[in-house]
Chain A
Amino acid sequence: MEKGTVRAWFLVHKWTSIICTLFMLMLCLTGLPLIFNHEIDEMSRGADNLPPLSADMQLKTLDEIMNNARAKRAGDVGLYMSFDEERPIVYVTTGPRPDAEEPEMNFAPYDWRTGQEIPTPTAGAIVTFLLELHTDMFLGLPGMLFLGFMGFLMFVATVSGVVLYAPFMRKLDFGTLRTSRSTRLKWLDYHNFLGILLLAWLSVVGLTGVINTLNDPLAEAWQADEIRDMTAAHGDAPRPETLSSIQGALDTALAAGGGVKPVFIAFPGTLFSSTHHYAVYLEGKTPITQALLTPALVDAADGTLTDMRTMPWYMQTLLMSRPLHFGDYGGLPLKILWAVLDIFTIIVLGSGLYLWLGKKAGAPDRTSRRTKLATEGNA
């Protein structure tokens, strides 16, 4: 490779890294405990733990649960029902109108076996704080998109780092770590070696993280396009005066075969459905089909199935990006590997920062240091 080309790639690597490194360090540090979100949640729940949902449990119908919920909130209509991943809990969201804004909504968990309201399971305050910091730094959509851009810069830094790996390794065997000659050489070797080890994993976790930051715009685009398209046959049919059975809608959707388990049901007139339909979002059995939700639209007047189709490519990409970013789809061993690779990433970021700061601090001594390093590199 020409000296000028190497220099150009070095500048790309340097500047993309300088801009994104501190944010990436924050993301890696907050992300580390978030890998074990589920385990932390389970530990902190302790005594109020419900047993896992099983097929032989006697469950109340969703209509009973909704009636109980509306009895407590006079004048409210049902907006959403969502289902706990493991426990027999139905989360009921009601509001004064079908198109109610979020602050007006009421959210309460119900025991699916008794149909009675149960205390809201509290997500740990620390986990919630870390998650928000990690997602948008408490800045909403602009914060999310900003972190997405930082993730993109990190990907550019990764690619340019791979290019620079070649001239660096011309005299060295793979896996060489010269740790005893100078601190700078030690961290340079760690930086290059761990960086190249992480190439694929970090690219996937980084880019899926970038895609996740586009969650809101993509979901809105999908609602605007697809839901309207799926319900086109009904035009702007009004919300039925009397809604058909919720349990019936779920059973119809499950019978249609789009999935084995409901994730949530959106009621007529809400953002995730049409004015005339229940939208039942189903997931499958394997990690892939669990991520790829299939919406089934059930007519809320007569309870018949209107349409069921898989999500468009951009929604599938978004939904697949979640497990690939979180690392929560292959049991505890995968999470532990995720954590180790995350720590490697922190070492790459930290050593990169050290190499840059070290170079600046030692500016007057730069020539001699460079000669020395180059000599060592050839040893």
Chain B
Amino acid sequence: MNMGANSKKTSSARSMKQIFMAPTVIAVLSVVGLVAALAGDGAADLLSWVALGVPVAIAAWAYGRRQ
């Protein structure tokens, strides 16, 4: 939260929508993944692995492009 202190001075501030777009998509996919495997086996399990794999894949992506 220290980060935000001087931010008003520059013009490239991101909107709430920009900030929370990716986290919202990830949260929705996580919930889909959590529920899918409950609903059945087979294809439902596969869907849950893919959906819950998204946050893990994104973590790997961010780690790969760390500065």
Residue ranges of A at the interface with B (Cβ–Cβ < 8 Å) = 6, 10, 162, 164-172, 174-180, 193-194, 196-201, 204, 286-288, 291, 320, 323-324, 329-331, 333-334, 337, 340-341, 344, 370, 373-375, 377-378
How many of B's residues come within 8 Å of A, CB to CB?
Answer: 45
The CA of A179 and the CA of B65, in the complex, are separated in Å by: 10
**Cross-interface CB contact of A174 among B22, B27, B37, cutoff 8 Å:** B22
**Cross-interface CB contact of A165 among B7, B23, B37, cutoff 8 Å:** B23
Decide: B3 and A168 in contact? CB cutoff 8 A: yes
The CA of A170 and the CA of B7, in the complex, are separated in Å by: 7
Chain B residues, CB < 8 A from A178: 66-67
The CA of A243 and the CA of B5, in the complex, are separated in Å by: 76
The 4 A-B pairs with the shortest beta carbon distances in the complex, nearest first, are A330-B37, A167-B4, A377-B3, A200-B30
- Minimum CB–CB distance from A238 to chain B (whole Å) comes to 42
Closest to A1 in B: B4
Question: Can you spell out 27 A-B residue pairs with CB atoms less than 8 angstroms apart?
Answer: A162-B23, A165-B23, A166-B20, A167-B1, A167-B4, A167-B7, A170-B19, A171-B10, A171-B14, A172-B14, A175-B58, A177-B67, A179-B66, A199-B23, A199-B30, A200-B34, A286-B40, A287-B37, A287-B38, A287-B39, A320-B38, A333-B49, A334-B52, A337-B53, A344-B55, A373-B2, A377-B3
The CA of A175 and the CA of B21, in the complex, are separated in Å by: 12
- Minimum CB–CB distance from B22 to chain A (whole Å) comes to 4
Decide: A172 and B37 in contact? CB cutoff 8 A: no
Decide: B3 and A171 in contact? CB cutoff 8 A: yes
Decide: B38 and A170 in contact? CB cutoff 8 A: no
The CA of A164 and the CA of B1, in the complex, are separated in Å by: 6
Given A167-B1, A170-B3, A330-B45, A324:B67 Cβ within 8 A: no
Decide: B22 and A166 in contact? CB cutoff 8 A: no
Chain A residues, CB < 8 A from B49: 330-331, 333-334, 337
Closest to B10 in A: A378
The prevalent SS among residues of A at the interface is: helix
Chain B residues, CB < 8 A from A171: 3-4, 7, 10, 12-14
Decide: A197 and B1 in contact? CB cutoff 8 A: no
Given A6-B4, A197-B58, A169:B19 Cβ within 8 A: yes
Closest to A290 in B: B38
Chain B residues, CB < 8 A from A174: 19, 21-23
The CA of A232 and the CA of B9, in the complex, are separated in Å by: 72
**Cross-interface CB contact of B14 among A169, A198, A337, A340, cutoff 8 Å:** A169
**Cross-interface CB contact of A197 among B21, B48, B55, B65, cutoff 8 Å:** B55
The CA of A374 and the CA of B10, in the complex, are separated in Å by: 13
Decide: A288 and B38 in contact? CB cutoff 8 A: yes
Closest to A337 in B: B52
The prevalent SS among residues of B at the interface is: helix
**Cross-interface CB contact of A177 among B9, B52, B63, cutoff 8 Å:** B63
Given A170-B19, A373-B3, A286:B14 Cβ within 8 A: no
- Minimum CB–CB distance from A209 to chain B (whole Å) comes to 14
The CA of A287 and the CA of B3, in the complex, are separated in Å by: 45
The CA of A286 and the CA of B39, in the complex, are separated in Å by: 7
Closest to A167 in B: B4
The CA of A6 and the CA of B5, in the complex, are separated in Å by: 10
**Cross-interface CB contact of B55 among A204, A330, A341, cutoff 8 Å:** A341
Given A170-B14, A197-B26, A287:B62 Cβ within 8 A: no
The CA of A127 and the CA of B6, in the complex, are separated in Å by: 51
Closest to B23 in A: A196
Chain A residues, CB < 8 A from B61: 175
With A166-B16, A330-B45 known, 16 other A-B pairs at CB within 8 A are: A10-B1, A166-B20, A167-B3, A167-B7, A169-B3, A170-B14, A171-B12, A196-B26, A197-B58, A199-B27, A200-B27, A286-B40, A287-B38, A288-B38, A291-B38, A334-B49
CB-contacts of B32-62 with A (<8 A): 34, 36-41, 45, 48-49, 52-53, 55-56, 58-59, 61-62
The CA of A232 and the CA of B22, in the complex, are separated in Å by: 54
Which of B2, B13, B19, B21 has the most chain A CB within a 10 Å cutoff?
A: B2
**Cross-interface CB contact of A180 among B9, B31, B38, B67, cutoff 8 Å:** B67
